[in-house]
Amino acid sequence: MVSNHLYTQDLPDPDLIFRTSGEERISNFLLWQSAYAELYFCDVLWPGLRKLDFLRAIHDYQRRQRRYGA
């Protein structure tokens, strides 16, 4: 299987991928592992990210109904 040959083979797949900068794409980041991850996009650039921005992402994630691709 492909996943057995990845650097992340011993790590769990992400539940949430948080993307800063306002770009609404994942740029092939963790492409294989992110099949069922929830995506959150934030307009703030990484150096300016505040605790409030992070907490908004967590709150948004908590309100979602996960469907795992369905």
Q: pLDDT tens-digit profile of 17-33? A: 999 999 999 999 999 99
The alpha carbons of the chain give a radius of gyration, in whole angstroms, of 13
Helix segments in the chain, DSSP class H: 51-63
Which residue shows structure tokens 């709150």?
Answer: 59
Tokens of 56: 């908004």
Instruction: From 16, 66, 59, 21, select the one nearest 40 (Cα to Cα).
Output: 16
Tens-place pLDDT, residues 36-65: 999 999 999 999 999 999 999 999 999 999
